[in-house]
Amino acid sequence: MQAGRLKAAVALAAAAALAVGASGCAKSERDDAGGGAKTGGTFVFAGAGDPKNFDPIFNDDGESFRPIRQMYDTLIQNKPGTADLQGALAESWEHDADGKVWTFKLRKGVKFHDGTPFNAAAVCFNFDRWFNMKGAAAQSQMIYYSDVFGGFAKNEAEGVGQPVYNKCEAKDDGTAVVTMNQYKGAFPGAFALTALSIASPEALKKYDADAVKQNGDSFEYSAFANEHPVGTGPFSFGGWDKAKGEITLNRNPDYWGDKAKVDKLVIKVIKDENTRKQELRAGTVQGIDFPAPADRKALSGEGFQVLDRPAFNILYLGFNQKNPKLKDLRVRQAIAYALNRQQLVQTKGPGGTKVADEFMPDTVLGYASDVQKYDYNPEKAKQLLKDAGVQNLTLNFYYPTDVSRPYMPNPQEIFTVLANDLQAVGIKVNGVARPWNGGYKDDVQQFGKQDLHILGWTGDYNDPGNFVGTFFGRGKVEFGDQAMTEMFDAITKADGTVDEAGKKAAWEQVNRDIAAKWLPAVPIWHAPPAIVVTKDVKGLVASPLTDERFNTVSVG
Amino acid sequence: MLRVIVRRLLQLAVTLIALSALIFIWLRNLPGGPIEALLGERATPERRALLTKALGYDQPILVQYGKFMQRVLTGDFGNSIRTGDPVAEVIGRAFPATIELALVAMIIAVGLGVPLGYLAARHRGRLLDNLSIAGTLLGISIPIFFLGYLLKDVFTQNIHWFPPSGRLSTGVDNTEVTGFFVLDGLLTREFDATADALWHLILPAFTLATIPLAVIVRITRASVLDVLNEDYVRTAEAKGLRHRVIRGRHILRNALLPVVTTIGLQTGALLSGAVLTEKVYNWGGLGTLITDSISGGRDYPVLQALILLAALVFVVVNLLVDLSYAFIDPRVRVR
């Protein structure tokens, strides 16, 4: 008996030795294979998180949109490298004088990956599907749809708004006519939203795409969303290995546009920023997203291509007017003058960052070149505070931790610099740090606990309403539910102006008034997020909307 | 013996129920929550209300807990908020990854630790002993995070011996049977995948093994030193027994008891160490799942199930350790 146990112990030790030995073997075998490990027809890109699923309409995040963009097309697309529009599945589009009836002339001869034809009926099928979506689970997840189209055929909750969509008619195979109940400034830009990609009606039906089931406190998506996404894009779905964290997409040989140069596109999920960089250096991936600002120089020094996306975002310092002292415009202006934003841009901004004077980039329609500017002027700040009769002002300044956003790669550092500027003009700052998902957004956007906070936004499409309207179009807890009705009305009016010239003028005036009269927040900067690829990657066009399509990419 | 096991299992059930209530209430009282994470920057009050209602967060916490328990009792832990997959599936995917990693780490720790500790004791005061003491001190005090990045920097960035992260190279085909990639490769005769999986395992397993390895060396050394001074060893030596017999039957056997206890305790440490190691090596296991579920938006269903699972594993491992006492030391059995 005892000898038996001893043998067991020996066996265990032997097994351990074997395992170590076997590992050694494995290594040397790999070395031999290492020479051939370089990808020929495969482009491997490291994503920073798991996608949610591949049904465009239920998604709103970049990690899901990256693979979705390769598999699907929208009616209208953003021109590569810009936020301007160009035809995609629709070759052209026009609207009537009221901006309510939109006619799309569709591209001919396009096929979905499952071989079914793309036509006007397919377009209408998608629009009707979105509009008629039932179930709280499904509706609450259609974030972009609700943003753009307001309500549904049957709303699952009160207060989600009147439906903007009315109907879609297929006049003939190549003409789809979409009728709206009202004009919205979001159109036509919103037709380019990845969430509004056109999917194969056959596949949607076959794989039960609308069945979003709720189970306890979460949602389960359909086989379409997880295993059988079918669009018209340059790549078709190959597989999603969740254990390996890899999404494989295959070249679509029948693509209507520029056919993909690589045979395979692999998106590898690597959550740790440092590890993404190491994989890039080890040559196991050929591209990574959002490098830390501090790494950019080193990476380009090592021969990697650091491609700056044109900045299509805004970082701002928000005022909570629940604090009566901040209700006084002079105090808000004093704070604006106190901030040395130029220096912040130079010391903490990623390369190419620009001081912001408005709450949208200058490429967006309605940007006014003559708004009141708040150049760094601490003396003026002190004077304004004095004029307002404010002494010993103490403000709670909230900032997030555990987060890096394209417009705010380093929140804590940004806070520190801004807080110092404020203290220099005699404003006492109480810094309050909160984890991004662990209370920051709750405290700021739901409870409004802060006096000051930093937050921002990356635009979804080229429209001032998507920037200025989102922030200041109505009272928000974030800004103290201010009753700035004059501002709300002006924004609503600008957003509802159909005629292009009138729209431009209306938004320009809104931007001028925001800077001079209302100042609900201070715009800080526009920061270009980067994308990094290896030397041998060619043809990647960085997009301000992170709307990169990898069909133009070749490796080696 | 049977009675002990039954009693321990009953204790386990009570522990788990109490723990489930605690976790449920605690999670829901943390700042932040899935609503914010799901809605992101595009949250409007209306949409927040819709989602709150849809998820049932507007109901009293006891009602929520009741519904949760109702489902749990039918074996349904719900779906992950982040991914939408059933919790069992999410954990089922991560579990083999962590176990595979922990197992290889334990094999390294025990396989190297016991012989090293024994040798150190037998060469007490000499170079080997001093080296091992210095080495274990370093092993215990070096933070896993730091060691992980250091090893990666040396072995993947400077000399390209190992891959920086992941469990399998891109392009290596594997058929998943059990989720243990090394085993799967053997089962499906995809030896390339086995080799690749082992190649990926070495750095993270070694990183994870450092602390238990150091602890096991120290405990073995101390324990062997104790035993060496025992009368029965001296008697055995005086009797002129063969060295192999003395080492195996008299020294190691008796010295192993505290070592086994340590291995049991270190299993718990391994699982918590896995959180850091997995982060450094992008290892899609339970450790990654825990951090993702907390920072990535308070994935309540996954967190609840994970904490319960961790408690279960902890209790079961301790039960096994107790049982193995009886196996190694007959005196325990008598009692």
Task: Please state the ipTM of this predicted complex.
Answer: 0.82
Given this model, what pLDDT does residue A535 score? 94
Q: How confident is the model at residue A486 (pLDDT cuts 50, 70, 90)?
A: very high
Q: Do B79 and A218 touch (CB under 8 A)?
A: yes
**Count of structural domains, chain A:** 3
B112 pLDDT higher than 50: yes
What span, in angstroms and rounded, lies between the C-alpha atoms of A536 and A538?
Answer: 6
Contact residues, chain B, for A455 at CB < 8 Å:
41
What span, in angstroms and rounded, lies between the C-alpha atoms of B107 and A21?
Answer: 12
Say if residue A352 is in the same domain as residue A481: yes
Say if residue A521 is in the same domain as residue A534: no
- Mean pLDDT for A30-52 is 66
A183 falls within a domain: yes
Range from A122-126, B48-52, B119-123, B278-282 carrying the lowest mean pLDDT: B48-52
Given this model, what pLDDT does residue A19 score? 41
More confident residue, B132 or A15: B132
- Mean pLDDT for A352-373 is 95
A419 falls within a domain: yes
Say if residue A255 is in the same domain as residue A329: no
Q: What residue numbers bound the domain in which A543 lies?
A: 38-55+233-309+529-555
Order of strands across the sheet that contains A428-435: A354-355, A521-526, A313-319, A452-458, A394-401, A428-435
Order of strands across the sheet that contains A101-106: A90-95, A101-106, A175-180, A165-172
Given this model, what pLDDT does residue A191 score? 96
Contact residues, chain A, for B76 at CB < 8 Å:
215-216
Given this model, what pLDDT does residue B35 score? 81
The helices-and-strands tally (H runs, E runs) of chain A is: 18, 23
Range from A315-324, A443-452, B176-185, B288-297 carrying the lowest mean pLDDT: B288-297
Q: How confident is the model at residue A14 (pLDDT cuts 50, 70, 90)?
A: very low
- Mean pLDDT for B324-331 is 71
Say if residue A356 is in the same domain as residue A477: yes
Q: DSSP string of A17-34?
A: HHHHHHHHHHHHHHHHHH
Contact residues, chain B, for A439 at CB < 8 Å:
31-32
B284 pLDDT higher than 80: yes
Say if residue A282 is in the same domain as residue A367: no
Two tokens, residue A20: 């170590």
- CB of B266 within 8 A of CB of B216? yes
Mutation for B interface: A32, A218, A275, most B CBs within 10 A? A218
Tell me the per-residue pLDDT of A161-209, one tens digit each, with 9 for 90 and over: 789 999 999 999 999 999 999 999 899 999 999 999 999 999 999 999 9
- CB of A530 within 8 A of CB of A308? yes
Kindly report the CATH number assigned to the domain that includes residue A115. Answer: 3.90.76.10
Kindly report the CATH number assigned to the domain that includes residue A547. Answer: 3.40.190.10
Say if residue A466 is in the same domain as residue A338: yes
Which is it for the CA torsion A288, A289, A292, A294, positive or negative? positive
Mutation for B interface: A403, A437, A474, most B CBs within 10 A? A437
- CB of A199 within 8 A of CB of A229? yes
**Is A208 an interface residue toward B (CB < 8 Å)?**
no
Say if residue A287 is in the same domain as residue A317: no
Given this model, what pLDDT does residue B332 score? 63
Say if residue A121 is in the same domain as residue A266: no
Q: Which of residues 101-140 of B touch A (CB under 8 A)?
A: 104, 107-108, 110-112, 114-115
Range from A22-26, A96-100, A324-328, B51-55 carrying the lowest mean pLDDT: A22-26
Q: Do A30 and B201 touch (CB under 8 A)?
A: no
A20 falls within a domain: no
What's the burial of A290, exposed, middle or buried (CB within 10 Å: 0-12/13-18/19+)?
A: buried
- Mean pLDDT for A287-292 is 89
Two tokens, residue B179: 């989720």
Given this model, what pLDDT does residue A13 score? 41
Given this model, what pLDDT does residue A93 score? 97
Q: Which of A175, A209, A243 corresponds to the end of one domain? A: A209
Classify A354 in phi/psi space as left (phi over 0), alpha (psi -120 to 50) or beta.
Answer: beta
Tell me the per-residue pLDDT of B140-162, one tens digit each, with 9 for 90 and over: 888 888 898 899 889 988 888 99
Given this model, what pLDDT does residue B251 score? 81
Biggest alpha carbon distance in chain B? 87
Average pLDDT score over chain B: 85
Q: Is A416 helix (H, G, I), strand (E, B) or coil?
A: helix
A25 falls within a domain: no
Distances (CA, A) of A294 to A309, A347, A403, A517, B159: 17, 11, 16, 38, 24
| Of B30, B40, B295, Cβ closest to residue A61 | B40
Report the run of H or E that residue A457 belongs to, with start and end.
strand A452-458
B329 pLDDT higher than 80: no
Q: Is the pTM above the cut of 0.90?
A: no
A5 pLDDT higher than 50: no
Range from A232-236, B136-140, B226-230 carrying the lowest mean pLDDT: B226-230
User: Which has the closest alpha carbon to A174: A77, A89, A271, A55?
Assistant: A89
A502 pLDDT higher than 90: yes
A214 falls within a domain: no
Gap between the terminal Cα atoms of chain A = 64
A372 DSSP 8-state letter:
-
Given this model, what pLDDT does residue A542 score? 94
Given this model, what pLDDT does residue B333 score? 60
Say if residue A84 is in the same domain as residue A173: yes
A277 falls within a domain: yes
What span, in angstroms and rounded, lies between the C-alpha atoms of A501 and A522?
Answer: 27
Say if residue A369 is in the same domain as residue A453: yes
A112 falls within a domain: yes
Say if residue A521 is in the same domain as residue A533: no
What's the burial of A129, exposed, middle or buried (CB within 10 Å: 0-12/13-18/19+)?
A: middle
A33 falls within a domain: no
The CA-CA-CA angle for residues A406, A411, A412, to 5°, reads: 155
Given this model, what pLDDT does residue A40 score? 53
**Is A223 an interface residue toward B (CB < 8 Å)?**
no
Q: How confident is the model at residue A424 (pLDDT cuts 50, 70, 90)?
A: very high
- CB of A16 within 8 A of CB of B116? no
- Mean pLDDT for A213-235 is 91
User: Which has the closest alpha carbon to A52: A219, A174, A287, A215?
Assistant: A219
Range from A6-15, A213-222, A291-300 carrying the lowest mean pLDDT: A6-15
Say if residue A417 is in the same domain as residue A521: yes
- CB of B106 within 8 A of CB of B212? yes
| Of A12, A61, A279, Cβ closest to residue B164 | A279
Q: Which of residues 205-244 of B touch A (CB under 8 A)?
A: none
Show the domains of chain B with their CATH numbers. 1-74 (no CATH), 91-333 (1.10.3720.10)
Going by DSSP bridges, is the β-strand pair A452-458/A313-319 parallel, antiparallel, or unpaired? Answer: antiparallel
Distance, C-alpha B110 to centroid of its chain: 15
Mutation for B interface: A244, A266, A478, most B CBs within 10 A? A244
A10 pLDDT higher than 50: no
